[in-house]
Structure 1
Amino acid sequence: MTAGTRTGPLMNRRSTLLVLAITLHNIPEGLAVGVAFGAVAADLSGASLSGALALALGIGIQNFPEGTAVAMPLRREGMSRRRSFFYGQLSGMFEPIAAVIGAAAVLFIEPLLPYALSFAAGAMIFVVAEEVIPSSQEHGHKSMASMSLMTGFAVMMILDVALG
């Protein structure tokens, strides 16, 4: 480890928890994409190729910051750039595997999808509440961290209502 890096059981525990939560979070996302494309292939009512592509694009775009969220804490702990990048990418590798499973088993998985997505959301909320929010306020930037959290939440709620 290099001088000036924060190491120890607390940082390792936080990074491990974050990597696992994001990895678990990617499985239901992959299922969602697979089910969307599988529904189009099975010609289910309400399924459209444009909707499946929009979902895949949206999830793909938000995977960039997720990979960074995995890689940056590992890099901060002293892991090499290449290795932290590798783990950031590895955390997303379960998503395409889950997408193939979702597409293949669309008729079985479709009713389970809300539960799988709820699990993914719950895992991320746990990590944010347990680790990210307290960490964001460690160095005296409580107001900035709180305002950023509230702004992000407001933007997501506006997008949810606007895009339905």
Structure 2
Amino acid sequence: MYMESIERYLSEVGPVYAALLATVFTWLLTAAGAGMIFFFRNLNRAWQDVMLGFTGGVMLAASFWSLLNPSIELAEKEYPDMSWLPAAAGFVLGAMFIFGLDKVAPHLHINFMAHESEGMKTRWHQTTLLILAITLHNIPEGLAVGVLFGAAANGTDGVTIASAITLAIGIGLQNFPEGFSVAVPLRRHGVSRLKCFWYGQLSAIVEPMAGVLGASAVLYINPILPYALAFAAGAMIYVVVEEVIPETQRDKNTDVAVLGLIGGFVVMMVLDVAFG
């Protein structure tokens, strides 16, 4: 009943505004996760790795079930002789987009040492580099939600408002532990709890911007839709493989981190199949 009411409301307000509301929801869940720093001094490293693994699992499942699969289905109708091209090209472009940002933007992954920072060399504080790493991580998530709302508005077969809402819920679920995972390392570096919360939630502020951009792009340039869906998938997969998985494998908790990833994948898959 509640899902139907939300679906009806978001279909009435238009895809761009719907994408904004959905990504504000994912941002707020990041803030809620970061707010846990007020109640806990630290986070056991094993649990942190499990939570990061869960994040990766959700992103992997969302990349296929919510993005790549609709892209391929759409391409089969519009490009029957080359149905593989939009998905393949969009996927590569999405991965290369994040690859380019990764090489240019200074950042430091969670659980990495200061001398392992990536991107352009800078004298920025380690805290800033940590925040930038998660910010880069959140761009494809917001983009994916926005693209899906735009696709639903265009009447794309296999893509509905419900599937876009489901993706936003999945992204939000993994944003909650992610927000806490950002705040904890900052606390270890001596940052106050209030600043840990502020910086933790700030890392997801790009999601509403990316969501609006994604919805607007596919709404007004309909032919790019299968490419845009695959683009978001490629960007998310790059983040998982280059950032999330390595972060979970740097300590002795590799097995439970993998179980966290499996759990995240199953949760997102069930959400998408059951409600999308």
TM-score normalised to structure 1 length: 0.74
Deviation string 1:117-148 (CA, Å, 9 cap, x unpaired) is 323332343234544422xx2xxxx2xx1221
Which has the higher mean CA deviation after the structures are superposed, 56-65 or 19-28? 19-28
Q: 1:132 to 1:63 in 2, by over 3 A?
A: same
Find the counterpart in structure 2 of residue 112 from structure 1.
228
* 1:6 counterpart residue number: none
Higher deviation after alignment, 52-61 or 40-49: 40-49
Name the CA distance, whole Å, in 2 between partners of 1:62 and 1:112: 22
Aligned to 2:259: 151
The residue that corresponds to 2:164 in the other structure is 52
The residue correspondences of 1:80-99 to structure 2 (distance < 5 A) are: 80-99=192-211
For structure 2, which runs of at least 5 residues remain unmatched after alignment? Answer: 1-111, 118-125
Aligned AA (1:47): V
TM-score (norm 2): 0.47
Partners of 2:245 and 2:127 lie apart in 1 by: 15
Cα offsets for 1:58-108 (capped at 9, x unmatched):
111211111112111011110111111111111101001111111111133
Determine which of 229, 238, 243 is the counterpart of 1:122. Answer: 238
Q: Which residue of 2 aligns with 1:79?
A: 191
Q: 1:89 to 1:159 in 2, by over 3 A?
A: closer
RMSD of aligned residue pairs (Cα, Å): 2.8
Aligned to 1:3: none
- The question of whether the paired residues in 2 share the 8 Å contact of 1:28 and 1:116 is answered with yes
The alignment partner of 1:105 has SS state of helix
Is contact 1:11-1:77 (8 Å) kept? no
- Following superposition, the deviation at residue 23 of structure 1 comes to 1.3
- The residue type paired with residue 155 of structure 1 is G
Can you give the 5+ residue segments of structure 1 that lack an aligned partner in the other structure? 1-8
Contact 2:248–2:254 (8 Å) recurs in 1: no
CA distance in 1, matches of 2:178, 2:255: 21
User: In percent, how many aligned pairs have the same letter?
Assistant: 44
Q: Which moved more, 1:9-18 or 1:45-54?
A: 9-18
Say whether the 8 Å CA contact 1:15–1:70 is kept in structure 2: no
Structure with greater contact order relative to length (CA < 8 Å, sep ≥ 6): 2
Task: Please give the alpha-carbon distance, in whole angstroms, between the structure 2 residues aligned to 1:127 and 1:64.
Answer: 18
Structure 1 SS opposite 2:191: coil
Q: How far off is 1:11 after superposition?
A: 4.7
- Residues 35 and 116 (structure 1 numbering): CA distance in 2 closer, same or farther, change over 3 Å? closer
Is residue 10 from structure 1 mapped to residue 110 from structure 2 by the alignment?
no
Contact 1:24 1:120 in 2 (8 A): no
Give the equivalent residue in structure 1 for 2:249.
133
Shift of the 95–61 alpha-carbon distance from structure 1 to 2, 3 Å rule, reads same
Task: In structure 2, give the amino acid aligned to 1:119.
Answer: A
* Matched positions, count: 148
Alpha-carbon offset, residue 29 of structure 1:
1.1
Equivalent-residue separation in structure 2 for 1:11 and 1:18 (angstroms): 10
